[in-house]
Amino acid sequence: MEPLIYRLLVLILLLTFVAHRAYYTRKFPPAESETVDKLKSGPLAKVASLIFFLALASSLIYIFFPSLIAWAAMSLPAWARWLGVGLALAGFLLLEWSHRALGSNWSDQPRITQEQCLVQNGPYRRVRHPIYTAFLLILGSTLFISASWLVGGLWIVAVSLDIFPRMRYEEAAMLEKFGEEYRQYQQRTGRLLPF
């Protein structure tokens, strides 16, 4: 039987992630009246949504009925599973730092507003998309914590399919709005990592 501690950790991780997103979505509701442009949902977003659903379903099965997906278990030592907890904590710290740096420039859906400014402080000093890095750290950590390639793999694939079109849109929109200033910013920062 899968140890209860890891199942609880996955549950806490997912609930904390949802609560954090809900808090910032409520704090900074979409400014539709100030929106100049926003990302249109495409076919890749629909595929990502389906995989998010499968990732959530597999996580719930892992938490409440782990024997049903025991076939997807990986043999990981305890230290590797706790490394996953460390990755999740690092992801949450990065996520909060990123939100604080962005302030009212944050939006749950990639968009350009009339009052948009180019944030270059906090983690944005070195990384253009630290929130997406945080998503990968937090949800990808389930691979280690659950020791299930199914649970962790689905989260990693879902997040990847979701963030890459967002990054493409955001970078094109920022280039259009800020021109040379954004081009220089791109040259001195990394997309997801500081290099």
Give Dmax (Cα) for the chain. 57
Domain that holds residue 10: 4-16+36-188
* Cα-based distances in Å from 102 to 118, 144, 170, 172: 9, 30, 14, 19
Average pLDDT, the chain: 93
Q: How many domains does the chain have?
A: 1
163 in any annotated domain:
yes
Model confidence pLDDT, tens digit, residues 62-72? 999 999 999 99
21 in any annotated domain:
no
Tens of pLDDT along the chain (195 residues) come to 789 999 999 999 999 999 999 999 998 887 666 777 777 788 888 999 999 999 999 999 999 999 999 999 999 999 999 999 999 999 999 999 999 999 888 888 887 778 888 999 999 999 999 999 999 999 999 999 999 999 999 999 999 999 999 999 999 999 999 999 999 999 999 999 997
132 in any annotated domain:
yes
28 in any annotated domain:
no
54 in any annotated domain:
yes
Model confidence pLDDT, tens digit, residues 163-178? 999 999 999 999 999 9
**CATH classification of the domain holding 170:** 1.20.120.1630
Report the C-alpha gap between 104 and 115 in whole angstroms: 10
E strands, the chain, where?
Answer: 35-38, 111-113
pTM listed for this prediction: 0.94
Report residue 12 CA to chain centroid gap.
Answer: 16
